[in-house]
Amino acid sequence: MEISIIALPLIASIISGFFGKLIGDRNSEIITSLLVTISAILSAFVLYQVIFNQYQDNIVIAKWISSGTLEVNWSMKIDPLSAIMLVVVTSVSSLVHIYSIGYMSHDPHKPRFMAYLSLFTFAMLMLVTSDNFIQLFFGWEGVGLCSYFLIGFWFKKDTANTAAIKAFVVNRVGDFGFALGIFLIFYLFGTVNYSEVFKLIPTITEKDLIFLGIKINAIDLICILLFIGAMGKSAQILLHTWLPDAMEGPTPVSALIHAATMVTAGVFLVVRCSPIYEYSELALNIITIVGMSTAFFAATVALVQTDIKKIIAYSTCSQLGYMFFAAGVGAYNVAMFHLFTHAFFKALLFLGSGSVIHAFKDEQDINNMGGIYKKLPYTYILMIIGTLALTGFPFLSGFYSKDAIIEFAYLRGNTTGYYAAGIGILTAFLTSIYSWRLIFKTFHGKYNNKNIKIEETHESPLVMLIPLFLLSIGAIFAGYTFKELFIDQSTDNNFWKDSIFFLKPLSTEHPPIWFLVLTPILVISSIPITYYLYVKNKNLPEQIANVNKPLYHFLLNKWYFDELYDVLIVKPSKNLGLFLWKFFDIKLIDGFGPDGISALIKKCSLKANKFQSGYIYQYAFIMLLGFSALLTFLIIK
């Protein structure tokens, strides 16, 4: 049964990819959606077994690599951590498959799209069920490849191709660090299997290495290298630039890749490697700083974006920052809790935005929307639910997981933890502002679209609304239902068992009351503030922007990270490439190589051709010269 969870999406991908034209569009959609849904049902059963029967297993599918001390299997590790990820990946993926039937109804390449979705799901499942770093890397690169296919699915659009290449290249930067981390693990331990590596970690706590001329603790170096990989995949600051541009792909892609699966792989990696990270205070502090910086940065940028999908994309970036600084303060279980709840409400928001885009015939600018809450009542209500959950409105899923992150950061008791908690509270307020800005500008106020009449906008079909409804159930109830399971670390009810390692147990104290109520008060108060700014007094935001033009343009241009990379990396690399091409390649290699030799032969041939005159005395003269040269050579010799 467990192997079927992985195998079914792969089979679905093969059938739709290779036989899609033969079986037709509708059959491709039905087969892929059905098989992935069955995988989701089986995953839910596995999670039930893990929760109530403490089921754990390591199923070896096949032997893979056997070379010296390197023994690697294709395997399926079932434990609480992988069981949670199985449910998240397969449930969101199955709903995205079903949603895509309606959203991609007018696309001529539906079988290819469904095949990519299923293949992506397979790669992600291989990643989360691995019991060694090599299989993890296989799944890691698999989701990276599939994201390239999916982001650039509409390959006739230049922007889609550029975004796909950008995502692929930026992820390669992170993956280089990740690969170095795996090499270092094998160099130090002679194995890449989790269980063996984690047992040996305490034996090298005092071991130092020289890396790039710098003396550094071996565990610190491993953790930092692995985290560089996580930064790239989970779009943390400095390696985040690919995520917003990835919105060029179809909306179901955004929901699948950028809400619940690929971007959470970095968080999963850090949590899976908690037995390593717990021995590296340096790495945990770096993770906390990077996480809280990303959370704040992405929230500020989302405040001024106008593309409905990019606002949600920056929101994803920000929420991933929350997950990382939760892991950085040692609350790995809380990071997973937010990953779990976030999957539901963020997929709901992405698919809801797709419903809006569908109604506006591919329009994505919220300035060209407005006043349609009566035309799209179901989408409106469901996106309100997603927004409430995202902002941490009391008693919805985000309230339990996000507030828990802020509380544990505060309870960490060190400077980094206090800073993270403060940034977390401020970011929660900003999150609420930009989230309600999206709702009010999209659904309220005056209708602003000049190309589409409001009568032409329409609610999405049931095949798109049903996945939204199911996700809304998770957005409402997932936090309350699973709070105790995820967070309670008592010996009687330790759900995580050995899948998460705590060198120091988490604090069981409670923060002061003022701290507990501060975030909910800010979140609730932001709703009337945003309503006044974007519905009642629409000119005020523009006036504020005009007064603070440098700040406004700084945020609008995403802190100028793309421009900075263009100046520091892209243009110098391009100029270096042009120089090497024109000077070394054309002038030196080609000039003295194939082009030079061919030119010399041609020149010699033209000279020699002049001797082919047809006069006997010239031939006799040449023969005499040749005889003289031969005779001279023989005499000298």
Q: Cβ contacts of residue 122 below 8 Å, gap of 6+?
A: 6, 9, 10, 13, 142
> How far apart (Å, rounded) are the C-alpha atoms in residues 635 and 637?
5
Instruction: Kindly report which listed range (182-191, 259-268, 373-382, 426-435) carries the lowest average pLDDT score.
Output: 259-268
Q: What is the dihedral of CA 170, 173, 175, 178, to 10 degrees?
A: -140
pLDDT at 260: 64
Closest CA to 298 of 348, 238, 247, 254: 238
- Residue 392 tokens, joined: 């941490």
- E strand or H helix at 7: helix 2-23
Q: Distance (Å, rounded) from C-alpha 627 to C-alpha 637?
A: 15
Per residue in 606-631, pLDDT tens?
Answer: 777 766 767 777 778 778 888 888 88
Q: Exposed e or buried b for every residue in 312-342, given b needs 16+ CB within 10 A?
A: bbbbbbbbbbbbbbbbbbbbbbbbbbbbbbb
Answer yes or no: is pLDDT of 478 > 80: yes
3-state secondary structure 385-417: HHHHHHHCCCCCHHHHHHHHHHHHHHHCCCHHH
**pLDDT mean across residues, the chain:** 89
Tokens of 154: 């509409």
Q: What percent of the chain has pLDDT over 90?
A: 55
CA atoms lying within 13 Å on the CB side of residue 171: 25
Question: Token pair of 345, please?
Answer: 């409400």
Question: Which parts of 488-570 fold into alpha helices (H)?
Answer: 513-531, 539-547, 549-556, 561-565
Instruction: Work out the pLDDT band at 388, boundaries 50, 70, 90.
Output: very high
The tens digit of pLDDT for each residue in 417-466 reads: 899 999 999 999 999 999 999 999 999 888 888 888 888 888 888 989 99
Give the per-residue pLDDT at 149.
92
pLDDT score recorded for residue 205: 86
Q: At what angle do helices 308-328 and 332-359 cross, to 10 degrees?
A: 180
Predicted confidence at residue 492, as pLDDT, reads 54
